[in-house]
Structure 1
Amino acid sequence: MHLIMIVAAFFIACWTRCQWRLPQGSWSQRWQTALFLFLFPPLLIFMTAIALICMGPQGKMSGLYTGWFSYVLALSSLAFFGILCIKLAWGGWQSVKSTRNCPLVNLAGKQARLLDTGALFAGQIGFWQPELVLSQGLLQTLSAEQLETVIAHEQGHYHYRDTFWFFWLGWVRSCTAWLPNTEALWQELLILRELRADAHAASQVDPLLLAESLLLVVSSPPVSSEIFCAALGSSGVERLEQRIEALLAQPEPIPEVQLQSWNGFLLAFLPLVTVIFHT
């Protein structure tokens, strides 16, 4: 019976991911769709594995015997997911430690770490309390007005805690890279993250000046991983085009997250209900 649960969870997860289509609609619609299709299948698999661990290898379920195979499979999966989380957290911590070795500078009342490189880089590096990191090349290339727009964009990432939340989304991506459309949904979430930070910045600075700064910075390759780094220039050509178009068209306001938008995720917890039928 447990094996049937595993097969059903994998089938539903793959079928759900296959519903992904090219992004359409407003920022809010795109965000809710992408986040649900990205998170629901892994969450369903996680909850199924946890339910099997809770029921154990002994006993019956709906009159059918359970066994060790499904139990060991679930336990191995959760152990693998845990190891991946530790590995990513260690990489992120190493990046944070490296960042803290950079000198602190004060720019327009904002503290930032100064990266000794000629590359044009601006980003938030860290987890819940990330630090603003700017490169020496960026300070030498951008004007004071352009630098203000860059800092405003990075403040958007800080406001939404993007480095923290995208660390966990990056972990989910690593755990379920084999699911259909994982990379497409990941790229969609990344561009929506940048559009949100751009919109936050555009409410404080000139959007056209921000677009100009973006074009300058994006030519430089990213310095750090996007899992624990939210950087202004971490965009591909397609993402850059979307961001420039959004800025030129005046970014739409970002709505507050509504509680009902999370209701669909409750279905992923249904496997836990099966525990009461195990004897």
Structure 2
Amino acid sequence: MHFTLLVISMSAAIAFRFAWKSRSADWNTRWQWALGAFLFSPLLLITSAIAILCMGPRGRMVHTWDGWGSYGIAIAFLTIGMILLVQLAIQVQRSLQKIHQLPEEIILSTPARLLEHSTPYIAQIGFWNPELVISEGLLDTLDESHLQVALTHEKAHRHYRDTFWFFWLGGLRRLTAWLPNTEALWQELIFLRELRADRWAAQQTDGLLLAEALLSIVSASQVESEPWMAALGDAIPQSRLNERIDALLDESEPVSDRSFTVWIWLSIVLLPLLMIPFHF
């Protein structure tokens, strides 16, 4: 029984990831599809491991090799997940310790940590209440109007608590890096996250100014961010940069990002837990 659950969960997780393909659709549809595809497989594996752990290695319907073998795999999987999460948390803490050593400045009425570096850089870094980090290179690159829209973009990341949510998504990414399309889905989510922040900022400022600021930052340098960082100039391919620019210049009515569809069908991952009461 345990081994069967393990095989079914593993097969479903791999098959679901293989089935994913990036879609050309509105932002909300792409976000729901990418987020659901990213979460389904690791959550299914986690709930299956928890179910096996709760049922224990013994039972009338469980052979000795089946019970202890599956039980050991479940414990190992969950233990590795916890270790990876702790490692990620330690990295966040170390980053924050370094950031807290940077001088704090008020830039256009916004508190920020000033990084002494010539590369243009602006990002929210941290967990639930991230720190805004701005480099001297950015202040030298952007004038006041473009700097204001860049700050608004970063306020969007704080508004959506992107650093917090992507910390957890980053943990799942590390745990299931071996699954198909993990990196492709991660890059899709990062890109859609930036599109959402762009849209939020464009609703409050000038989308054209933000597009110009984005081009100025990206043309100077692109930086690969960690899960707990949300930077305006995240490293992206030219095609996706063009898509961000086009989206900023698109004046059509934005699609609502409030949808619970993904959470409804993600409830399928809870099915392994329903087997626990029937174990004997």
Give the TM-score taking structure 1 as reference length: 0.95
Residue 89 of structure 1 pairs with residue 89 of structure 2 = yes
What per-residue deviation string (whole Å, max 9, x for no partner) do you get for residues 113-167 of structure 1? 1001011000000000001110011111210001001001000101000001011
Equivalent residue number for residue 70 of structure 1: 70
Query: 1:124 is aligned with what amino acid?
Result: Q
The correspondence of residues 28-43 of structure 1 with structure 2, limited to 5 A, is 28-43=28-43
Distance in 1 between the 2:257 and 2:219 partners? 32
Equivalent residue number for residue 276 of structure 2: 275
What per-residue deviation string (whole Å, max 9, x for no partner) do you get for residues 78-107 of structure 1? 000100001111111111111111111112
Equivalent residue number for residue 147 of structure 2: 147
Is the 1:38–1:186 Cα contact (8 Å) retained in structure 2? Answer: yes
Equivalent residue number for residue 266 of structure 1: 267
Is the 2:35–2:262 Cα contact (8 Å) retained in structure 1? Answer: no
Distance in 2 between the 1:46 and 1:269 partners? 10
Shift of 1:254: 4.9
Distance in 1 between the 2:127 and 2:192 partners? 19
What per-residue deviation string (whole Å, max 9, x for no partner) do you get for residues 176-197 of structure 1? 0111111111111011000000
* Larger displacement relative to structure 2 (245-254 or 105-114): 245-254
Is the 2:224–2:234 Cα contact (8 Å) retained in structure 1? Answer: no
The correspondence of residues 167-206 of structure 1 with structure 2, limited to 5 A, is 167-206=167-206
Distance in 2 between the 1:43 and 1:251 partners? 36
* Larger displacement relative to structure 2 (245-254 or 140-149): 245-254
Query: 2:276 is aligned with what amino acid?
Result: V
Distance in 1 between the 2:128 and 2:223 partners? 20
Distance in 2 between the 1:158 and 1:94 partners? 20
Query: 1:263 is aligned with what amino acid?
Result: I
Is the 1:219–1:233 Cα contact (8 Å) retained in structure 2? Answer: no
Query: 1:211 is aligned with what amino acid?
Result: A
Shift of 1:258: 2.9
Equivalent residue number for residue 249 of structure 1: 250
Distance in 1 between the 2:224 and 2:187 partners? 16
Per the alignment, in what secondary structure is the counterpart of residue 117 of structure 1? coil
Unaligned runs of 5+ in 1: none
Distance in 1 between the 2:172 and 2:67 partners? 28
Shift of 1:220: 4.2
Is the 1:196–1:254 Cα contact (8 Å) retained in structure 2? Answer: no
Shift of 1:108: 1.9
Query: 2:264 is aligned with what amino acid?
Result: N
Shift of 1:198: 0.2
Shift of 1:263: 0.6
Is the 2:170–2:227 Cα contact (8 Å) retained in structure 1? Answer: yes
Distance in 1 between the 2:251 and 2:114 partners? 31
Shift of 1:60: 2.5
What per-residue deviation string (whole Å, max 9, x for no partner) do you get for residues 222-276 of structure 1? 5563311000101312321211111122375252423344111110010001111
Distance in 2 between the 1:23 and 1:140 partners? 38
Query: 1:149 is aligned with what amino acid?
Result: V
Is the 2:222–2:234 Cα contact (8 Å) retained in structure 1? Answer: yes
Is the 2:124–2:133 Cα contact (8 Å) retained in structure 1? Answer: yes
Is the 2:84–2:175 Cα contact (8 Å) retained in structure 1? Answer: yes
Distance in 2 between the 1:124 and 1:221 partners? 17
Is the 1:226–1:234 Cα contact (8 Å) retained in structure 2? Answer: no
* Larger displacement relative to structure 2 (251-260 or 263-272): 251-260
Per the alignment, in what secondary structure is the counterpart of residue 48 of structure 1? helix
Is the 2:104–2:112 Cα contact (8 Å) retained in structure 1? Answer: yes
What per-residue deviation string (whole Å, max 9, x for no partner) do you get for residues 42-75 of structure 1? 10000000000001111134x7665211101100
